[in-house]
Chains A and B, each alone.
Chain A
Amino acid sequence: MSGWFEFLIGRPADQLLSLGEVLVILLVATTMVVLVTLVLACGALLLRRRTVSARSAMTVRHGGWQRSLQAVLYDGASAEDLTGSIAPASGTDFLNFLLLYVRRLDGSEREQICALAEPHLPRMVTLLTHRAAGRRMRAVQTLGELGLPGYGDQVIAALDDPSPLVAMVAASTLARAETPEYAGAVLAHLDRFAHWRQDFLSAMLASMGIGAASALRHALADDDATSRIRAVAADALAALSDPLAADPAAEVLGSSDDIELRAAALRLLASVGRAKHLSVVREHAAAEELPVRLAAIRALGRFGERTDLPPLEEAAREAPSPWVAIAAARALKEGGGVEALEALAGSQHPRSALGLQVISESRSW
């Protein structure tokens, strides 16, 4: 037993310390704890002072640049004067400053900002191979926002970056460029974002604008593409309200078994479908798969005919799933079947409250 302690402390247990020695050790130990804490606290204090002074210096610097930038953009001042005043060490900070403005402006003002950034962009290219993903991310963002189309190849190459987040920053900046030629590159790399939420990816693709619709339609109709990519393309086309996408969407419904893809095709038809597509939508209004059925019901509400109202009313009253009932009731309202909802609301039916709910509801978003 005592050997165990002797092994730990290198002193026999019977050779205990005196009270004075114990107090000295206690005092030393406490002092050390207090000192360590004080050192850390002083470190934080110094850090705070440095941050505050760096921030105030940056505010002053940015204030000066802002005045010069406004003079260049709106008063015809020379851009050379501004670029000449940027010290090489401040190049990255200047790019960060320009990033704050580039998204808010377009047309010639945007072009002028990109021209101001140009001399400092090569240093961003060197950062594309930095081992820290955060640095690469920032470099890709800067080149994508301020350096397109000149640095388009570098940004497209970043779609293959080992870090999926860097690749996503590349895809987002390419999408925001609203240049159709980047659509193919982004679509070809969508598999890299296998776990990203479908809504997010489709919104990103839609931000490329209607110019990308052709590439998106091609992706939707491509049987060799994964169902997920095709579904994302369908949702992007729906967001763009591309009328030419309706026929490929109807064809997808006839050929694919994938639930998400069929649901996306139905959402697309809800956005741009015409009377000739109604038959294929009706076929899916009683589908066993909930997402498909809900999308078909919503599509019928958007562009269905009077003959579609009775099955919708039936679904609102009798569908076991509350989701189907709510979707059907809303489709009834949208499709002009308010009287059917009023009848439901005034009845003794267990779903009478649903009728009242949908009649009175105004979506809060």
Chain B
Amino acid sequence: MVSIGLALLATINGLVLVYFLAINLVYILTSVRALQVIWQYRQRLQAFNLLDPSRARASPPITVLAPAYNEELTCVESVRSLLTLDYPRHEIIVINDGSTDGTIQQLMSAFELAPRPRLATAEIPAARVRQVYQSRAYPNLWVVDKENGGKADALNAGVNYCNTPLLCAVDADTLLERDALTRIVRPFLEDSRTVAVGGKIRVINDCTVRSGIVTQAKLPKNFLAAIQTVEYLRAFLVGRVGWAALNASLVISGAFGLFHRGSVVDAGGYGSKRTTGETVGEDMELVVRMKRLFTDWGRPCKIDFVPDSVAWTEVPESYRVLGRQRDRWQRGLIESLTRHRTMLFNPRYGPTGMFAFPVFFFLEGLGPVIELTGYVGFSIAVYSGQASGAYVIGFFFLAFALGVGLSAVAVLIEEVAFGRYGRITDVFKMFVLAAVENFGFRQLNTYWRARGLLHTLTGKKAWGKMERKGFRAAADTSS
């Protein structure tokens, strides 16, 4: 009996070791590629003027889709920000997803909305549309007022009314930088096989916002929000850049992504209960589905990422809300991966099937459970005398050092390549946070993600409510 237990313990610890080696190998690989790509990108930006007038003339029209549900606190400021976008030809469609607060009233009074007919150009199933409005003050602003159906359903309603070749999906509480569209459209100009492009998300908490524009980037005062700033830098500047460079992107953030409209329609739109099935991770699910379907149909499908096209978003400042968010993200990840599990180790899907999908499935999807098991298993091994303390400490030190190193690389890339944080103390603090996050926050995050995995198995579908301060409040606080 004891020998079986010891063998089991050895197996678990061996598994954790393999997991640890594999995930860090992947992180190092994506980091190295990300460094290369960003270095080259910086060089090409010097020679290639994105705001060149000939490019502006050739820029394809874009429709920005902003679904809103009970966003009365932030919707007006967000729409104002969208109206300042510096892009030659763009429309904005805000989709009010049956809000029960004053979202539609706020929009109507702020932008002088009036009912207008508008023919739908696609028929993706979505909840009933009550009315379509156009702004008298801003003719490129439209509002689709519909019955509640969830975020994916709202986006599908927006896609139905989109009549431009490209559509940009953003969260209603997201602030896009003025040149965000000009920058994110680049891969579509350079490669007509591109079907989707992700932009970089930055944390807006405590930043100074004036007229819908972030005028000064600051590290949030709140500890959790500050840690998430470092996390976002790591996820976008190392993860997304690296995966896109390996032509194996599987995720485009729902907060900011640009899509080829026809491809979204052909893929059946966002996953909702009226289309391909409900999911809490509709952003990832759509990307994975496009990749899968287009490969099956023999259609080109390139998914890219632009590191200097920026959207700002508010992140949770309480453990409760953050825990719910991470739980939901993990459920979305697992749902998307299991729904398209046929891609797993399938050479038909190229680097995505053979590399990215297994990494996301085994290391990101099941990772939290393996990591938690590792903490327990190693403790038992040390306690029972089966492993020396030096080995375990050495192992964890290496794990933490790699974790710190990865985050530090992301902060370094941010400072060297983009330098958005004007105060050097903020950059200094980010390095400290890169170390601090490994002691407590990382374990807590692992717990939340493991809980998400458990909730996937038990069929939990809830979204959880995000509590927002609103950008105006954020601006007031910082000034």
**Contacts from A to B (Cβ < 8 Å):** 1-2, 4-5, 8-9, 11, 13-17, 21-22, 25-26, 29, 32-34, 36-38, 40-41, 43-45, 47-48, 51, 132-135, 137-138, 140-141, 165, 168-169, 172, 175-176, 195-200, 202-204, 206-207, 239, 322-323, 325-326, 351, 353-354, 356-357, 360, 362, 364-365
B375 is an interface residue with CB less than 8 A from chain A: no
Whole-angstrom CA separation of A365 from B60 in the bound complex: 12
User: Which residues of A are found within 8 Å of B40, using beta-carbon distances?
Assistant: 133-134
Whole-angstrom CA separation of A325 from B193 in the bound complex: 28
Q: B42, B46, B89, B193: which has the most chain A beta carbons within 10 Å?
A: B46
Query: What are 23 of the A-B contact pairs (CB < 8 Å)?
Result: A9-B391, A25-B389, A33-B397, A33-B401, A33-B435, A34-B435, A37-B404, A40-B408, A40-B431, A44-B431, A45-B427, A48-B419, A138-B43, A141-B47, A195-B191, A195-B193, A196-B191, A204-B54, A239-B57, A322-B120, A323-B163, A353-B119, A365-B89
User: Which residues of A are found within 8 Å of B10, using beta-carbon distances?
Assistant: 1, 4
User: Which residues of A are found within 8 Å of B427, using beta-carbon distances?
Assistant: 41, 44-45, 48
A351 nearest CB neighbor, chain B only: B119
Q: Quick one: given A33-B400, A47-B416, A326-B119, are A175 and B391 in contact (CB under 8 Å)?
A: no
Contact A165 B44 (CB under 8 A): yes
The stretch of B67-75, B327-335, B380-388 in contact with A is: B380-388
User: Which residues of B are found within 8 Å of A5, using beta-carbon distances?
Assistant: 381, 386-388, 391
B55 is an interface residue with CB less than 8 A from chain A: yes
User: Which residues of B are found within 8 Å of A203, using beta-carbon distances?
Assistant: 54-55, 57-58
User: Which residues of A are found within 8 Å of B14, using beta-carbon distances?
Assistant: 4
Q: How far is the CB of A226 from chain B (nearest CB, A)?
A: 14
Q: Quick one: given A21-B389, A357-B116, A365-B90, are A138 and B401 in contact (CB under 8 Å)?
A: no
User: Which residues of B are found within 8 Å of A38, using beta-carbon distances?
Assistant: 431
Q: How far is the CB of B36 from chain A (nearest CB, A)?
A: 11
User: Which residues of B are found within 8 Å of A325, using beta-carbon distances?
Assistant: 119
Contact A322 B47 (CB under 8 A): no
A164 nearest CB neighbor, chain B only: B190
User: Which residues of A are found within 8 Å of B22, using beta-carbon distances?
Assistant: none
A17 nearest CB neighbor, chain B only: B389
User: Which residues of B are found within 8 Å of A199, using beta-carbon distances?
Assistant: 58, 60
Contact A326 B121 (CB under 8 A): yes
Whole-angstrom CA separation of A172 from B47 in the bound complex: 11
A134 nearest CB neighbor, chain B only: B43
Whole-angstrom CA separation of A323 from B261 in the bound complex: 13
User: Which residues of A are found within 8 Å of B47, using beta-carbon distances?
Assistant: 134, 137-138, 140-141, 169
B347 is an interface residue with CB less than 8 A from chain A: no
Contact A207 B54 (CB under 8 A): yes
Q: Quick one: given A16-B385, A33-B404, A37-B431, are A48 and B190 in contact (CB under 8 Å)?
A: no
A165 nearest CB neighbor, chain B only: B44
Contact A165 B48 (CB under 8 A): yes
Would you list which residues of chain B between 103 and 122 have a CB under 8 Å from chain A?
Answer: 116-122
Contact B390 A11 (CB under 8 A): yes
User: Which residues of B are found within 8 Å of A9, using beta-carbon distances?
Assistant: 388, 390-391, 394
Scan B136-164; emit 1 where CB is below 8 A from any A CB, else 0: 00011000000000000000000000010
